[in-house]
Structure 1
């Protein structure tokens, strides 16, 4: 019967595997920032050796000395110590560090050897295919998340006993509330007539400054300096609403379509529902 204290969930094992990759990536980025001031290309030809040395240092300070990777240590996971024999440690080092170094070395320095490049490509294809097969096997059995772990038969065990993965729902709740609020705005905002609201607010704020006029047939006169009372530009197809101010046809028509009680924004003259073309009498 399997010891429950040794159980490690699949998601935690995958998280540890991904954390190990991210840790290596972060250290490589820090190194690239450290020697970016050097003359370009001075270290690029030694990139396989630099990567191999970095991974070796990480391997020595994690698996060899602490019996677990840095990603596993973050999640309180470790390998079974009795399985980390000398021969398996050597095999693990060969598969995780020397094999990738050999591949990078061949790609960088032996590009002229076409036969060797085909062999490397074939080995890479087989390795990726086996990795996919091993992943589906891991989803079924919950053991050996990586192909290397399967070859060396290293199982993950929990240092703090069997624990379920903790989920924090605070962020999810905030997202649900925000999404619901946005959906509410999408439904309600199209129903709001902003022109009416703007007109009422403008009338309330400027009522003391406007001289209301009684609607009567008054034809304004357009001069060179005349501007549209809405867009403040030279009126295009000038029209009026029985006050002394001129409007572009599209400005006044658009506002009337949105607000049937539209009034002149300057003198607050009420509209009777009609607009009138302006006779072009230039002064």
Structure 2
């Protein structure tokens, strides 16, 4: 009853944590701080500001000293827990040699999901680029057919716009002699390479995420 997320991860709970104790614990931890902040301006009318600051400073000093005492001697974590006699105990007796892999499994699942998204986005960009090129070829074919009467097959001499030619040229310039993509920001082998849509230059994923303009051509970074 009333375990915090951190206590659940550590397999802890409060000893003799009844409903009455829960209400008192909530009131002393949350309601007192809430009303103190809400009515601080009202209290200034009746209590001088210097005296109120001294009271607040003394309260914080007591909490700080008690925190150092807890770190050194152990026992109750806060003065409120000491007043309510709240002691954290294990939900089940600890057993030596057991390991909890839940957090590690969640981390591995998230890493795999992130890598899958990176691969999926790369495939999506490639398919989208091929689809646009195919649609442009179909358009050029239809225009050539209408102009030539369909008597001969059109020769695709120019299929890319000047922007696209510069786009692919920038990508080729980012390839090292060993065939590995290089980041234009850190000039190292690109880790999780990302291409800037505006100019085609290659970045590491981290270098790309913190850039606002391209390092090579000063174009705006388009994500």
Q: Relative contact order (C-alpha < 8 Å, sep 6+): which is higher?
A: 1
**Pairwise same-fold verdict (TM > 0.5):** no
Find the structure with the greater CA-based Rg.
1
**Per the shorter chain, which TM-score range?**
0.3 to 0.5
When the two structures are superposed, what TM-score results if normalisation uses the length of structure 1? 0.33
